[in-house]
Amino acid sequence: MDTTVTLPLGQMGIETKEFTDEELMGRLRDGDRDAFSTLVMRHTKRYYSLAYRMLSSREEAEDIVQESFLILWSSPASWDGGRETKFTTWFYRVVANACIDRKRKQSPLPMEDGIDPPDEGRGAEEALEMKRRKENIDACIGELPESQQTALALCFYEGVSNREAAEIMGVSVKALESLLMRAKASLRGKLRGDKGREENQNGQR
Amino acid sequence: MDRDEFLKYLELYGGDLGRWPSVLGEEARAACEGSQELREALDQERRFEESLMERVYEEPSPGLEARIISAAAAVKRPEPARNSVLGLLGAVFSAIPLPRPAIALPLLLVLGMAAGYLYANYAEQDTDNAQYAEMLYYGEEYYE
């Protein structure tokens, strides 16, 4: 997770030194734009992915990632490098909290009407089925409590370790594990139920 | 590892045994070899996780990074306060990897000592003034 890249430091004439995220944050505090750019290039995709998993919207996710990085740029002192929190862990927390705030401000979106498209053969039917399944999974996850959604996004989709996810969410590892287990059990039940309903509908046709 | 433990860890760490803590992963593999039921549970968990991975995902727009960097260029950023004494002190303290109480307590002690010293001088000066006023009122004989 602690990747390092070559950072051209034009102003200092240094070309090949490698910097960790934490070193870059130190430089960012001194107003180093190259350090900021390196952090953005290095981590945007990772934080976008989390934001997308939490908000299910590309525009919203991009917006959140941009806002979070701009906060980092305008007040880098908000990251307390003296404590033992890694930059990536801390920034996950910033992005996750921003997503939670955004979701709370949003009014729930109306469900899409299930309009049957014109029959265009088996391929189209399969594609439609796949699309429905994906949307169904999204809807099921969207129905989970906020904390379970965050735990699932971090551990399952982002591959963050349970310990780090617990630190990001500000809960104990036990509490996080409990959230994960409940999220999975609940999803399993929902998906099984939906599958059963689908099979019944197909049988009736 | 018995059946119940296996199922509990399966729920916790998922269907990829490579992502389990290494000791537990080894035990789980051994447990699976000896049990058809556990192998089926593992397969079921993997199918469930695969279905979750089918969830909709859209890649970010190309150039998102460039957009963020150029947006930052338009944001006014407070200059680091290195020119002032306080700014310099702040920089020195932030460079020292000490927990905050370890910095705050000596700082409080120094402030307390400075306040005590100033107050003592002030109080002494006050006493002198009062004596001088009394001397003017009663005359110098009063003190002789």
- Give the nearest chain A residue to B73 (CA atoms): A33
- pLDDT > 70? residue A108: no
Rg (CA), chain B: 37
Per-residue pLDDT at B6: 92
Pseudo-torsion of CA A103, A146, A195, B52, nearest 10°? 90
Distances (CA, A) of B88 to B61, B82, B84, B93: 42, 5, 6, 9
User: Alpha-carbon torsion A2, A171, A100, A25, what sign?
Assistant: negative
Exposure string of B90-127, with b = 16+ CB inside 10 Å and e = fewer, is eeeeeeeeeeeeeeeeeeeeeeeeeeeeeeeeeeeeee
Q: What is the DSSP letter of A14?
A: B
* Mutation for B interface: A58, A144, A174, A194, most B CBs within 10 A: A58
Instruction: Please tell me the distance in Å from A105's CA to the nearest CA on chain B.
Output: 23
- pLDDT > 90? residue A26: no
Per-residue pLDDT at A102: 92
**A34-38, A45-49, B90-94: the lowest-pLDDT one:** B90-94
- pLDDT > 60? residue A186: yes
Q: Annotate A121-144 with DSSP letters as a single string.
A: -HHHHHHHHHHHHHHHHHHHHHTS
In this predicted model, what pLDDT tens digit does every residue of B116-141 receive, in sequence order? 887 776 666 666 777 776 766 676 66
Q: What is the DSSP letter of A118?
A: P
Q: What is the DSSP letter of A42?
A: H
> Do the Cβ atoms of B54 and A40 come within 8 Å?
no
Q: Annotate A23-87 with DSSP letters as a single string.
A: HHHHHHHTT-HHHHHHHHHHHHHHHHHHHHHHH--HHHHHHHHHHHHHHHHH-GGGS-TTSS--H
Per-residue pLDDT at A66: 96
pLDDT band at A81 (very low <50, low <70, confident <90, very high): low
Does the pTM of the predicted model rise above 0.80?
no
Largest CA distance in chain B: 114
Contacts 24+ apart (CB under 8 A), A83-89: A85/A167, A86/A1, A86/A2, A86/A21, A86/A22, A87/A21, A87/A22, A87/A24, A87/A25, A87/A39, A88/A1, A88/A2, A88/A21, A88/A43, A88/A46, A89/A164, A89/A167, A89/A168
> Do the Cβ atoms of B64 and A181 come within 8 Å?
no
Q: How many residues does chain A have?
A: 205
> Do the Cβ atoms of B64 and A62 come within 8 Å?
yes
Pseudo-torsion of CA A176, A179, A185, A191, nearest 10°? -110
